[in-house]
Structure 1
Amino acid sequence: MYSNEDKQLAEKVLEFSCDLESGQNVMLQLVGLNGIGLLRALVEHTRKMGANPFIQIEDTEIRRMLIESGDKDFWTTQAEVDQLPLMKQMDAFVGVRASLNIYEQSEVSKEANKAYADYFVDPVHYKERVNNTSWVVLRYPSEAFAMNAKMPTQKFREFYYKACLLDYTELAEAMKPLQDRLEDTDMIRLKGEETDISFSVKDQTWIPCFGEKNIPDGELFSSPILSSVNGHISYAPSVYQGKPFEYVKLEVRDGVVVDSDSSNNEQLQEILDTDAGARQFGEFSFGLNPVIKEPMYDILFDEKIYGSNHLTLGNDYEIAPNGNESNIHWDLVCIGADVYLDGEKIREGRKFITDDLKGLNPENLLQK
């Protein structure tokens, strides 16, 4: 029916991440049929808790067909007739992403993606679900996922559950000294291979993430002062809207991308031309999950890589705003740059070097 690991994961997601209570409504959404075992475990545990599951199962090829053919009228109807009224009844949301092909939407046009984002994703998810439910989103392991991670399938499954079932209470405690430092910081500098970029975070809000919104989790994020970002930065491999990038490099002046290079420049320019906010940055974060070491073309994992940072193109988060508005939010990850806070080096490569922050290094955190 389902594995013991899926049982443990369902319990953590519902009890810890969603903090679900008896009598509450929770939407359990499965995108991709591969994760049916976890969905069963989620349904069973929801009912054991006395809560009400609302089930939504989507085939990834059907989703791609709808996005390809959808326009403003179609997605407005989908939102207003079905999904928005239902989401307004939900207290919690669990989204399981179980696609077997991360490139399924790689040939969807820019116009079709924009219509889907503007008239469905924005009202249903960004405005309603994100702001008014206790929500969590996670991936599900598969042979294809293991291939992207360059691991044997069984080894990847072991890695996946270890990363997802991390003791997030311990991680939250280890994050506190870094959050304290960042709340008193003005200028941050990242300096590494093909990267030297600085920006201000003075008086910005810092949000620790330890299993309440994403699984796996482990990040501490805010947003840069918009016009303060200057320098150049090189990012690890990434997939955005089904389009692969082996590398992305950006040159930034006064908060705006003025030059760029990538393994897929035509698609990169399309993304940067989405709107004015697509060339500016809406988030900055530290990746802090001690289990996740290398990129695997999946941002829910890659943005948590220990010793990494992501300086995100596009829309900010209302919880840690800087005023940037965009239809994109692309979490591009920079791995292993030295980090300076107001001129003091706190991380050398991927290791924190100050005594108060060494507890975040994998060799210390995983021993707890």
Structure 2
Amino acid sequence: MYKQQDKELAEKILNFSCELKEGQNVMLQLTGLNGVELMRALVETARELKVHPFIQINDTDIQRMLVEKGDEDFWKRQAEADQLPLMKQMDAFVGIRASQNIYEQSEATKKANEAYSNEFLKPVHFEERVNNTNWVVLRYPSPAFAMNAKMPTEKFKEFYYKACLLDYSQLAEAMKPLEERLRDTDMIQLKGEGTDIQFSVKGQNWIPCFGKRNIPDGELFSSPILSSVDGHITYTSSVYQGKPFDYVKLEVRDGVVVDFDSSNNEQLEEILDTDAGARQFGEFSFGLNPIIEKPMHDILFDEKIYGSNHLTLGNDYEIAPNGNESNIHWDLVCIGADVYLDGEKIREGRKFITDDLKVLNPENLI
């Protein structure tokens, strides 16, 4: 029926992440039939908790067709007649992404993606689900996922459950010294190969993430003062809207991307031209999961890589705002840059070097 690890993961999600109580409603959404074993474990666990699960199982090929052929009227009706009223009744949301092909929607046009984002994702997920439910999203392992990670399937599954079932209470405690430092910080600077960028975070809110919204988890995020971002930054490989990028380089002045280079400049320019906020930054974060070592073209894992940071193009989060509004939110990841807080080097490459922060290095968390 399902693996024991799926039962353990389901219990962690519904008890620890969603903090569900008897009688509450939870939407369990599976995109890709590959993750049905975890869905079964979630349904059984929900009923054991006397929670009411609302089930959505989406075929990825049908989803691709809808995105490619959908327009503003179609997605507006989908949101208003069905998904938005239902989401407003939910206390929690669990989204399992189990696609076998991360490039499934790569042929969707810019116009089609904008219609989907503006009329469906924004009202249903960015505005309602993110702000008004205890939500958690995660991927599910597959041979295709293992291939992106360049690992044998069975070894990847072992890695997946180890990363997802991390002791998040221990990680939460280890984050506290860094959070304290960041709340007193004005300027942050990243310096490394192809990267020399700085920005202010003075007075900004910082959010420690330890298994409440993402699985796997392990990050500490805020947002930069919009106009303060200045310099250049080089990111590792990424996939966004089904479109692959081997690398992305951005040149930034007064908080706005003024020049760029990548392995796919035509698609990058389309993304940057989505709206004015797409050329500005809505999030900055430290990746802190000690199990995740390298990119695998899945942002829920890649943004948690230890010794990494992501400086995110697009929309901010209401919980840590900076005023940027956009229909994109692209967590681009920079790995191994030295990090300076108000001129003091706190991380050299991927390892923290100050005594109070060494607790965050992998050898002290595993």
CA distance in 2, matches of 1:131, 1:310: 22
Match of 2:217 in 1: 217
Counterpart position of 2:153: 153
SS of match in other structure, 2:43:
helix
Aligned to 2:311: 311
Query: Where do 1:263-342 residues align within 5 Å?
Result: 263-342=263-342
Does residue 78 (structure 1) correspond to residue 78 (structure 2)? The answer is: yes
User: Which residues of 2 match residues 19-168 of structure 1 at below 5 A?
Assistant: 19-168=19-168
Cα offset for 1:127? 1.0
| Distance in 2 (alpha carbons) for counterparts of 1:276 and 1:81 | 30
Question: Structure 1 residue runs of 4+, over 6 Å off?
Answer: none
Deviation at residue 95 of structure 1 after TM alignment: 0.3
The correspondence of residues 170-319 of structure 1 with structure 2, limited to 5 A, is 170-319=170-319
Which residue in 2 is equivalent to 1:362?
Answer: 362
Cα drift, residue 72 of structure 1: 1.0
Output the CA distance in 2 between the equivalents of 1:55 and 1:226.
39
Secondary structure of the residue that 1:318 maps to in structure 2? coil
Superposed CA offset, 1:334-365 (max 9, x none): 00000000000000000000000000000011
> SS in structure 1 opposite 2:47?
helix
Amino acid at match of 2:32: G
User: Deviation at 1:131?
Assistant: 1.0
Structure 1 residue identity aligned to 2:38: L
* Letter aligned with residue 267 of structure 2: Q
2:14 corresponds to 1:3: no
Q: Which runs of 5+ in 2 are unaligned?
A: none
Give a deviation string over 1:235-278, Cα, whole Å, max 9, x none: 00000000000000000011010110000000000001111111
How much is the aligned-residue C-alpha RMSD, in angstroms? 0.4
SS in 2 for 1:138: strand
Instruction: Specify the SS of the correspondent of 2:150.
Output: coil
The code of the aligned residue for 1:207 comes to I
Q: Distance in 1 between matches of 2:108 and 2:23?
A: 40
Q: Which residue of 2 aligns with 1:347?
A: 347
CA distance in 1, matches of 2:101, 2:197: 34
| Partners of 1:206 and 1:13 in 2: CA distance | 23
Q: Partner of 1:306: helix, strand, or coil?
A: coil
Q: Which amino acid aligns with 1:186?
A: D
Secondary structure of the residue aligned to 1:347 is strand
1:79 counterpart SS class: helix
Please give the TM-score of this superposition, normalised by the length of structure 2.
1.00
Q: Give the Cα separation in 2 of the matches to 1:203 and 1:88.
A: 32
Take 1:124 and 1:361, find their aligned partners in 2: how far apart are those partners?
38
1:85 and 1:201 mapped to 2: Cα distance?
A: 37
* Alignment partners' CA distance in 1, 2:240 and 2:329: 9
**DSSP-derived class of the 1:41 partner:** helix
The 2-side partners of 1:64 and 1:135 are apart by 24
Q: Count residues with an aligned counterpart.
A: 366
Alpha-carbon distance in structure 2 between the residues aligned to 1:275 and 1:121: 16
Which deviations, in whole Å up to 9, do the C-alpha atoms of 1:71-125 show, x marking residues without a partner?
Answer: 1111111011111111111111000000000000001000000000000111111
Match of 1:155, SS?
A: helix
For 1:174, the aligned partner's letter is: A
Structure 1 unmatched runs, 5+ = none
Find the aligned partners of 1:355 and 1:45 in 2 and give their Cα distance.
42
Counterpart-to-counterpart distance in 1, 2:86 and 2:103: 29
TM-score by length of 1: 0.99
* TM-superposed deviation, 1:324: 0.5
Percent sequence identity over matched residues? Answer: 81
- Secondary structure of residue in 2 paired with 1:278: helix
